[in-house]
Structure 1
Amino acid sequence: MIAPVGQPVPDTPHAVSVSLPSWRANVGYEEGEDWVMSKMKTGYPRFFIHLIIQELEKEILKQYGKASERVMLFPSKRTSERCQAFFYDKRQSLPTSSVRLLHLEPKTHAAGKNVLSSLSCVFFPAEEFPTAKQVWQHSGDGISSRRGEFCLQALREGLLVPVQAPKAISPTQDVYGKGPRRYQRGTSQNNISAALLTNGVHLDGETNRDTHTNGERDFSHFIEERFGRNLNAELAAKAKRAICRRIAGVLTDNEELDDAFPDSKPKQQKPQQGFSPGDQLRNISEHDVYLYPCGMSAIFNAHQLVMEITRTPTGALPSICFGFPYIDTLKTLEKWGPGCLFYGNGVDDDLDDLERRLHSGERFAGLFTEFPSNPLLRSPNLARIRKLADQYGFLVVVDETVGNYININVLNQADVVVSSLTKIFSGDSNVMGGSLVLNHSGAAYDKLQKTLDQQYEDNYWAEDAVFMERNSRDFVSRIDRINNNAETMAETLKASEYIKEVYYPKFNLSRNHYDACKTSTGGYGGLLSVTFHDRRHAQIFFDNLKIEKGPSLGTNFTLACPFVILAHYTELDWVQQFGVDPYLVRISVGLEEPEDLSAICSGALGAITAS
């Protein structure tokens, strides 16, 4: 049964998607119509602030805010300072005192194994919420719903307290400073008690003022009630390390966490059928993998990283966005730094133009592209991009979310590969996550790694990491089935007289570029998009698809959405110049039985015939 309007998909408190089961409901959501908005129990986390986080915001405002203010919540000082700096950059008429920060930390001095969380609050005039929301949406820096749930309970019990007075920073202050070192190297992170306090002293040298044992005992009791004995700092660190090893190709079997490390595994491990690490040519270790709270956070931080290491004496260089991308990637490149050169079609003719620009002396920090793109599933010519990058000295960042590293190897053509682990890596659509991987063989590797080691900040909340690790254990085994299901569905739809175009890597004109990166056991992925000769048929087809409908992709269940309506509703004319049909329907194919998926497609197409 398809979930009603506004209900979480799947039916879990931390669902990533939300049900918008009809074309009318999607338009109503974009128009802000009450019959939709009043029923929204959740939404895609970077577009819709989770109700738990909204409740936490209300509690923060009640205790520390002003009547004229709103607040946005971040996991660390640096992420909150970036939000504050964005206000000063985009809203220069604002007084510097109108956007203020407050940092909350756990009321304890114990450096034990408990999982704890700090919380950074950005207060701003209520009418400036659209500015703050840009940071939340585009950067992926905001707290997750599970962290929000934890902090709300801790705040209400008096266990999350201010450590400094609200402050304002200078609009010119550099907020891209050093952060804590990485979890797998045995040092600090901001969501583990040992990172926050050591023997009553903050790691930045500030003495903790609350060192009485009663606070420690109270917090320990709180932790046990919240998590039982099943989650602590050691488990969270092991989960993060296991995720990194899985992404690096070290872990290929569906195995328990305790079996994921060399000291507990047999010397010879047989790779799971359907995946050969030798196909990857990745030449990476788990230490080349960095985790982030979501995919956009990985992209945002990759952009910050690229700008940092390519900075010239006159400032940062612009970037290149190659191909029609997921909306927030382009917005990030445009709004942070000196802007970007946008090639919305992402074809070889665009590379001709880029080469002419480079030859005439234009210089760029990096080129950002998706492989394949969302929603048109086009594959850029990575080999030629790599050649230009080597010749003219810019970096290449590839988002492999849609393709995924089981199907494709793009790392050897990139300097940095980013991915949304929220999607097929998790599959269960109940947790967010992102990854950034460095190409160990790339010319810029040493500089990238050195900079990340100095500046990387682990903001991936412990609970989210544990859920992600569990979800991803069968990642490899799911890919082959999803590949086969999607290919069958794409071929079924391509045969219909009502369908104008099926966008799928196997059918696109850029297939040769995809095949050049496809692994020997890989397929064409689980995402496809369709357009119709008659736009009315798009609505009929969508409304009669007997599957869940909502934002996101890569779910273990098949999920559809009118992607352009959701992502580009206010700029439909603009997207058409890049060949993007406003009535495009995107389908993320899941693990259902092939015959059931065929019947679902036939039923939706039959509804067009009957109309």
Structure 2
Amino acid sequence: MLQALGGPVPPNTDHAVSVSLPTWRSNIGYEEGEDWVIGKMECGYPRFFVHPSIQKLAQEIVRRVGDPESETATLFASLKTARICHSFVVSKVSPEEAQKVRIVTFVPSQQADEGSTTITSSLVAVVYKKEFASIAKQVWQHSGNGISSRRGEFCLRALEDGFLVEEKKSPAAESLSQRPCKGPRRYQGKGSMSGISRGSSASTPTSTDTPSAASGAEDGRDYPQFIEERFGRNLSTALAEQAKVAVRRRIAGVLTADVELPEALETASAEGRVSGISEEDVYLYPSGMSAIFNSHQNLLTARGPLKSICFGFPYTDTLKILQKWGPGCLFYGHGSSEDLDDLESRLKNGERFLGLFTEAPGNPLLKTPDLVRIRSLADQYGFAVVVDETISNFLNINVLRYADIVVSSLTKIFSGDSNVMGGSAVLNPQAPYYKLLKDTLNREYEDLYWAEDAVFLERNSRDFIGRIDKINATSEEITAMLKASPLVKEVYYPKYSPTRPLYDSLRTPNGGYGGLFSVTFHSTPEAIAFYDTLEVLKGPSLGTNFTLSSPYVVLAHYLELDWARSFNVDPDLVRISVGLEEVSDLRGRFQRALDAVEKVEK
């Protein structure tokens, strides 16, 4: 049952978004950079561990345009996102070294420009000395704007085949972000730089959307073989645009049936999450953190340089974004009514803020903020409200009615398969800042969601609604079992939280309490015994179709455990996201883990 240390989670998955850290000790070893762990890692969570295909692409780029002995590169899909990284790195190094940090853009060769393309990709590298890698990695991790592993594979092949070349500096360099990087001709058909075909009907692909059979023959392969090898049988990249439409409709709540793509592109029948919403109010991003990062950037663009508010103990990168980009942030780590009293006092005294960022419920204590009061303060004092709904998702709770923007990681339970990254930001058409944000996004938004990723995400999410009901029911049974055990110190789950009334006020008519919970024990050895014995896959991420566990605080806050403890977050906390296994099976696994706890010497 247990995956070997460093292997992909789920097993045998080229683009897995988690990695196996099967023991408590291996998680410590990962955080401390010990070679016996790091040396075995075949992959990792993509914002923390650069996928091998992307590493290989970066190495090839530096070999061509830099010094492989002393330099490395971080890769992005557009000039705009690369410039964010470039600016951050040069702000942290000496002026002399800053001059050596550079942006290199790759564009189609003349040969690749002949004909049209279905798949297209911008590729922009920020090249810098290896000693600055930890600085650039902050941008990769926090912004979530880096290229995906599938895009990396595509660009590496295009580069090696000579269809992707460095653009030489010229007066036209500033227009790079408008120019796509196209892959080899065997990948070609009509397209745009976002990696999706444009100008065709949302429901009916035209003949120009699909590469001809002849276009696959350049390297001796025919078109059907190419499609099967790169996308799986019967998955054409011509459907990438349609896949994005279907995904956005599901997120808007106007598509509520578990149907395949053709049916998903028919006229939507449901009203949606709030009155007047459509898929046009949903924006896709390469990751959930990219949705948060870009929401913050768009608010800064729309409203100017004001401080933000981080309300409640957040996922670690959200707080880092608000602290490292822009004028800073006011942090309320407890997310309590007393914190709201303090905020209201500040507002009455004239302090003004850009927006309040919060999670509903929060990670990992599953507390729910008072969104009704937050919305009231926002309306009275003029700040935006951004809510991360990843943990419970919009089928269980409806937070959009209280928010200006709702963000989510589609990597999690929306996909479920743990093999593709994605994120979304949804605008509330009834919110005060809707027009301002819509106008800003019309100018600023870049669709950088890679075509192949969109195809996989759409396919994975077709049964999203059906999966949620089962996971809700199983989670309630398992948490009740743990809650009843004297071996367990605390179970953190919305149903048992002191903020349950706030959660219940947000629940949809058929909504449950979600698939994520955390558990603590009476000692560190007991927590270790439980984690090491629990027969489920173990690694970072959450919201998978299989049950997944991690010592979350160790992974997310290893260098700040005392700080986390100051907000009542136990360093020995074990976090679990429930999958689709049968309840009886999971009960047996959890009981054996509790039996191991009971054997720990007191």
User: Partner amino acid for 2:59?
Assistant: K
Aligned 8 A contact 1:247 1:289 in 2: yes
Please give the alpha-carbon distance, in whole angstroms, between the structure 2 residues aligned to 1:291 and 1:443: 22
Please give the alpha-carbon distance, in whole angstroms, between the structure 1 residues aligned to 2:453 and 2:195: 12
- Would the alpha carbon gap of residues 470 and 476 (structure 1) be closer, same or farther in structure 2, given more than 3 Å must change? same
Aligned mate of 1:589, from 558, 563, 578: 578
Aligned 8 A contact 2:216 2:222 in 1: no
* Counterpart for residue 119 of structure 1: 123
Aligned pair 1:302/2:304, yes or no? no
* Counterpart for residue 187 of structure 2: none
1:219: how far off? 9.6
* Counterpart for residue 261 of structure 1: 265
Please give the alpha-carbon distance, in whole angstroms, between the structure 1 residues aligned to 2:379 and 2:61: 50
Aligned pair 1:289/2:286, yes or no? no
What does 1:90-239 align with in structure 2 at a 5 Å threshold? 90-91=92-93, 93-107=95-109, 108-110=112-114, 112-165=116-169, 188-192=192-196, 226-227=226-227, 234-239=238-243
Please give the alpha-carbon distance, in whole angstroms, between the structure 2 residues aligned to 1:93 and 1:518: 53
Please give the alpha-carbon distance, in whole angstroms, between the structure 1 residues aligned to 2:31 and 2:547: 23
* Counterpart for residue 414 of structure 1: 403
* Counterpart for residue 86 of structure 1: 88
Report Cα offsets for 1:7-56 as digits up to 9, x if no partner: 00112010011110110111111111111111100000000001111111
1:191: how far off? 2.7
User: Partner amino acid for 2:293?
Assistant: F
Aligned 8 A contact 1:529 1:585 in 2: yes
Between 252-261 and 540-549, report the one with greater CA deviation: 252-261
Aligned 8 A contact 2:368 2:500 in 1: yes
Please give the alpha-carbon distance, in whole angstroms, between the structure 2 residues aligned to 1:507 and 1:242: 35
* Counterpart for residue 46 of structure 2: 45
Aligned 8 A contact 1:576 1:582 in 2: yes
What does 1:375-390 align with in structure 2 at a 5 Å threshold? 375-390=364-379
Report Cα offsets for 1:111-137 as digits up to 9, x if no partner: 635212221000011100011000000
Aligned mate of 2:310, from 306, 321, 331: 321
1:279: how far off? 8.4
- Would the alpha carbon gap of residues 220 and 373 (structure 1) be closer, same or farther in structure 2, given more than 3 Å must change? farther
Aligned 8 A contact 1:112 1:194 in 2: no
Please give the alpha-carbon distance, in whole angstroms, between the structure 2 residues aligned to 1:218 and 1:378: 57
Gaps of 5+ in 2: 181-189, 200-213
User: Partner amino acid for 2:474?
Assistant: N
Aligned 8 A contact 1:498 1:534 in 2: no
Between 227-236 and 576-585, report the one with greater CA deviation: 227-236
Aligned 8 A contact 1:178 1:456 in 2: no
Report Cα offsets for 1:152-180 as digits up to 9, x if no partner: 1111111111223399x9xxx9x9x9999
What does 1:543-558 align with in structure 2 at a 5 Å threshold? 543-558=532-547
- Would the alpha carbon gap of residues 20 and 310 (structure 1) be closer, same or farther in structure 2, given more than 3 Å must change? same
User: Partner amino acid for 1:290?
Assistant: Y
Specify the SS of the correspondent of 1:419. strand
Please give the alpha-carbon distance, in whole angstroms, between the structure 2 residues aligned to 1:82 and 1:157: 29
Aligned pair 1:6/2:10, yes or no? no
1:250: how far off? 2.0
Aligned 8 A contact 1:113 1:194 in 2: no
Aligned 8 A contact 1:279 1:519 in 2: no
Between 401-410 and 83-92, report the one with greater CA deviation: 83-92
Aligned 8 A contact 1:101 1:166 in 2: no
When normalised by structure 1's length, the TM-score is 0.88
Report Cα offsets for 1:393-423 as digits up to 9, x if no partner: 0000000000100000000000000000000
Aligned 8 A contact 1:322 1:342 in 2: yes
Aligned 8 A contact 2:89 2:135 in 1: yes
Aligned 8 A contact 2:254 2:272 in 1: no
Please give the alpha-carbon distance, in whole angstroms, between the structure 2 residues aligned to 1:71 and 1:484: 46
User: Partner amino acid for 1:310?
Assistant: R
Between 465-474 and 223-232, report the one with greater CA deviation: 223-232
Aligned 8 A contact 1:178 1:454 in 2: no
Please give the alpha-carbon distance, in whole angstroms, between the structure 2 residues aligned to 1:560 and 1:525: 15
Aligned 8 A contact 1:106 1:117 in 2: no
User: Partner amino acid for 1:65?
Assistant: G
* Counterpart for residue 207 of structure 1: none
Between 532-541 and 328-337, report the one with greater CA deviation: 532-541
1:89: how far off? 2.6
User: Partner amino acid for 1:50?
Assistant: H
User: Partner amino acid for 1:571?
Assistant: E
Please give the alpha-carbon distance, in whole angstroms, between the structure 1 residues aligned to 2:247 and 2:433: 24
User: Partner amino acid for 1:256?
Assistant: E
Gaps of 5+ in 1: 181-185, 196-213, 270-276
Please give the alpha-carbon distance, in whole angstroms, between the structure 2 residues aligned to 1:127 and 1:308: 32
Aligned 8 A contact 1:111 1:194 in 2: no
When normalised by structure 2's length, the TM-score is 0.90
User: Partner amino acid for 2:446?
Assistant: E
Specify the SS of the correspondent of 1:397. strand
Aligned 8 A contact 2:411 2:423 in 1: yes
Aligned mate of 2:451, from 442, 462, 466: 462
Aligned pair 1:374/2:363, yes or no? yes
1:234: how far off? 3.3
- Would the alpha carbon gap of residues 194 and 479 (structure 1) be closer, same or farther in structure 2, given more than 3 Å must change? closer
Specify the SS of the correspondent of 2:495. coil
1:57: how far off? 1.1
Please give the alpha-carbon distance, in whole angstroms, between the structure 1 residues aligned to 2:493 and 2:535: 21
Aligned 8 A contact 1:379 1:513 in 2: yes
Specify the SS of the correspondent of 1:560. strand
What does 1:523-562 align with in structure 2 at a 5 Å threshold? 523-562=512-551
Aligned 8 A contact 1:116 1:193 in 2: no
Specify the SS of the correspondent of 2:494. coil
Please give the alpha-carbon distance, in whole angstroms, between the structure 2 residues aligned to 1:380 and 1:223: 52
Specify the SS of the correspondent of 1:373. coil
User: Partner amino acid for 1:77?
Assistant: L
User: Partner amino acid for 1:245?
Assistant: R
Aligned 8 A contact 1:529 1:586 in 2: yes
| Aligned alpha-carbon RMSD (Å) | 2.6
Please give the alpha-carbon distance, in whole angstroms, between the structure 1 residues aligned to 2:191 and 2:117: 13
What does 1:390-539 align with in structure 2 at a 5 Å threshold? 390-539=379-528
Between 388-397 and 98-107, report the one with greater CA deviation: 98-107
Identity in percent: 56
1:188: how far off? 4.7
The count of corresponding residues between Structure 1 and Structure 2 is: 567
Aligned 8 A contact 1:550 1:559 in 2: yes
